[in-house]
Structure 1
């Protein structure tokens, strides 16, 4: 029985020797049972040489493989990272069955041998981050963690939560390698130190009740892609929301890549707005392909519209040759897309010809919906900055920062002016301040010479001072489509 068990479970040799200490025969090696039969090992799973502690990593979170190439790990698993590939690392698990696969890079951290397997040890965490972790749910009074000291290399710090505050204690290392918080009270290892202060907790001002629970990393879904999959080509433009580049996805699919610096963003709004981009689907909205949100800079990857933005297109030779019917068609397409956003209760905040993209067959799609919310107030501001699109902005936004679907309707009226002037800047010759003052006094843009009177009436309805008197996008779409059909029939 013993020999059979030893043979089948030879990797537990040290355990069997403790269980049956006197049964190893003299002619067998002292380290336990040895089976001379050859065992076929996968070449990529051959035993590693002894690894230095600097090459050891630990899994920070549970991760379940979604394909044969990925590696499932549990929090605390010891790993050897073989290489980095984009937002992933190729790692071999050292605890349990040795297997190889890819893990998101933000799921692992370098560890030291001494504390590698402990749930209370947080590698690479500083004082401020430790404080944020301990004060964040689900952590509570008595949560604690051990981290590397920021000021003394090779030493540690204990951070412990006491109700609504966090206290930090230096764990010093003596000449003999012993660890201590108070001189004269030295311990051979971290486990014994924590055991002592769990009982004598008044010294550290709070009981050590449970190890800190780490923050769950951002959920990676099908939209999140490594930045390495995208190749930048030519720069298409630059605006309030960053640079726009033409590029290739996996060297095959043409895409538009909007690059935003995270320093310019309000991080608390990012997740919500990106979720909006993911769920909105309409033929008159630019389709999101992917997001690269891990690290900097942020990539928002969308379909490519080869004729660029509507403002530039209208002033081009091709744009200037468009007929009134073509211009009404553009107005109808934008109204159709905005009706969908209205139904979804999404405020665009920066509706203008520059944010309408043009493709083949005069296909028009709305871009950058909701992105203005992401930008910090000092980047996207109405307080005297030349960057703010004041000439497209409703008076209640300019004066009170009150955005709504009705403020988008005002901006749509300005967009109609751009369309029927072939891209002319509204309120030309006026400063931003003069524009706001004139609007408050009742001034409205005059009718463009090429604009049908019935279209100009719609513009004036969009520019009502009382927001409740402005039409909905649904009503605008119906009116414009009716005008389009009538003009089309008259030409037929």
Structure 2
């Protein structure tokens, strides 16, 4: 009954769709209902020579339930004459030319256009480009391609290499959809046209032997951008690696630009770039672009306007922070380090100077994976490595044995920095004296503004044996509980 109403009162389609929804077969795959990317081209106008009928393929079996419906089987081809609501009036092309109604969602329009998967079809190229492609190695005599016609929209051209020259043939398209080179030889699609002229190449005096081979374009790094796209505005910091500037990308997007001046540090920065590309987390600084062609090298990241946390803690705004703020910072960094730990990445230089601060006290970890970055007096050379001794676990400082557990030790030192407003740890001690004191069991005292619960977390981080230190996900949970439920006297 509902089909009858739909067909004979099509002007009430909206009403029928609301109160008499179509029943859809359970066998219909979900992907059938999803739009296909690229199936519509909004910049193209409809073909003014659209024929009065369209060719469709049957997607699912349908059994007629009344005399005016048409039974069809999956794979059959139909000529659709008109649409009425949720149905189409169609004529079967195979067997008896019977007409009838078929549900519109059981069929799909057939395309006579060449598929991008066809090796011989290259879209969007000019006659000149076709010449260049076919005359370039590894193409040779008999190489061919089909391209879009430059002068006749909706039609095509066949380009064939004949020894040292390229010949071009216009492929005409009839209003009904057939293709031809010569009026007497019509073909329903380009595949059959090519098959005919491959077998009868003497008609065009050019053999069709090999589809054109396109040279693969040189692979370029998706992150690589020309240096001219960036403008430097204000220097934010400087160290042994170079400088960090606030700037803009294409005069609109605010960015931070790390400039590497020393050519001998390219390997270090290559490692940092790889880490930035592969690691994605809200508490890690985000890579936007790189400029590695020529000198100097730029590493372009999101801009954190308040700079590094160490400098911020020492600023007037930093001096106004409370214990509640410190715990928020600590939780954010623990969250980012938990992600690095899960990805089996060792930071090696976790410290307040390598945490960047943005709006609303948002903190992000930077420079993960590098062992030397900022001021020379922070680092001590051991062999060929420069390490920040006062932030480094004893097993890493003495034996260069790094692990997530050595990062946990550094996180304890980071907490000390935060709760002392950026005070240098082990102040007054040299690097050598610091290692000696640590190995004898000395630990930094509890800062005045630090709750006892947080100092307990620090001591857990500073256990002598790495295996006794908690993982970052446990540190994150402990600090979050203190942040959420703790009642501390210092605020």
**Once the 2 structures are TM-superposed, how far is the Cα of residue 221 of structure 1 from its aligned partner?**
2.4
Instruction: Name the structure 1 match of 2:287.
Output: 288
Preserved CA contact (<8 Å) 2:380 2:388: no
Instruction: Name the structure 1 match of 2:324.
Output: 325
Q: Distance in 2 between matches of 1:248 and 1:420?
A: 34
Alpha carbons of 1:302 and 1:428: their partners in 2 closer, same or farther (altered >3 Å)? same
Deviations 1:16-63 (A, max 9, x none): xxxxxxxxxxxxxxxxxxxxxxxxxxxxxxxxxxxxxxxxxxxxxxxx
Alpha carbons of 1:433 and 1:326: their partners in 2 closer, same or farther (altered >3 Å)? same
Instruction: Name the structure 1 match of 2:409.
Output: 410
Gaps of 5+ in 1: 1-64, 79-215
**Once the 2 structures are TM-superposed, how far is the Cα of residue 219 of structure 1 from its aligned partner?**
3.9
Deviations 1:290-319 (A, max 9, x none): 011222222110000111110011111111
**Once the 2 structures are TM-superposed, how far is the Cα of residue 448 of structure 1 from its aligned partner?**
0.3
Instruction: Name the structure 2 match of 1:232.
Output: 232
- TM-score, structure 1 normalization: 0.53
* 2:425 is equivalent to residue 426 of structure 1: yes
Instruction: Name the structure 1 match of 2:478.
Output: 479
Q: Distance in 2 between matches of 1:314 and 1:429?
A: 20
Instruction: Name the structure 1 match of 2:393.
Output: 394
Q: Distance in 2 between matches of 1:66 and 1:363?
A: 48
Deviations 1:344-363 (A, max 9, x none): 11111110000001111111
Instruction: Name the structure 2 match of 1:45.
Output: none
Instruction: Name the structure 1 match of 2:248.
Output: 248
Preserved CA contact (<8 Å) 1:270 1:374: no
* 2:256 is equivalent to residue 279 of structure 1: no
Preserved CA contact (<8 Å) 2:236 2:246: yes
Helix, strand or coil at the partner of 1:282: coil
Deviations 1:66-99 (A, max 9, x none): 9999x9988x979xxxxxxxxxxxxxxxxxxxxx
**Once the 2 structures are TM-superposed, how far is the Cα of residue 371 of structure 1 from its aligned partner?**
2.8
Structure 1 or 2, whichever has the larger Rg, is 2
Gaps of 5+ in 2: 1-121, 138-215
Alpha carbons of 1:428 and 1:490: their partners in 2 closer, same or farther (altered >3 Å)? closer
Q: Distance in 1 between matches of 2:306 and 2:287?
A: 18
Instruction: Name the structure 2 match of 1:459.
Output: 458
Q: Distance in 2 between matches of 1:451 and 1:67?
A: 66
Helix, strand or coil at the partner of 1:236: strand
Q: Distance in 2 between matches of 1:240 and 1:407?
A: 24
Q: Distance in 1 between matches of 2:244 and 2:280?
A: 21
Alpha carbons of 1:220 and 1:380: their partners in 2 closer, same or farther (altered >3 Å)? farther
Preserved CA contact (<8 Å) 2:462 2:469: yes
Preserved CA contact (<8 Å) 1:337 1:366: yes
Deviations 1:455-488 (A, max 9, x none): 0011011111111011111000000001111137
Q: Distance in 2 between matches of 1:480 and 1:433?
A: 32
Preserved CA contact (<8 Å) 2:323 2:490: no
Preserved CA contact (<8 Å) 1:407 1:467: yes
Instruction: Name the structure 1 match of 2:445.
Output: 446
Deviations 1:222-262 (A, max 9, x none): 21111111111111112354311111111111100111235
- TM-score, structure 2 normalization: 0.53
* 2:298 is equivalent to residue 299 of structure 1: yes
**Once the 2 structures are TM-superposed, how far is the Cα of residue 396 of structure 1 from its aligned partner?**
1.2
Deviations 1:321-375 (A, max 9, x none): 1111111010000000000111111111110000001111111111111133899
Instruction: Tell me which stretches of 4 or more aligned residues in structure 1 moved more than 6 Å.
Output: 65-69, 71-74, 384-387, 488-492
Preserved CA contact (<8 Å) 2:449 2:490: no
Q: Distance in 2 between matches of 1:401 and 1:334?
A: 24
Helix, strand or coil at the partner of 2:381: coil
Preserved CA contact (<8 Å) 1:262 1:298: no
Helix, strand or coil at the partner of 1:368: coil
Q: Distance in 2 between matches of 1:367 and 1:272?
A: 13
Q: Distance in 1 between matches of 2:438 and 2:325?
A: 30
Alpha carbons of 1:489 and 1:392: their partners in 2 closer, same or farther (altered >3 Å)? closer
Q: Distance in 1 between matches of 2:447 and 2:264?
A: 37
Instruction: Name the structure 2 match of 1:223.
Output: 223
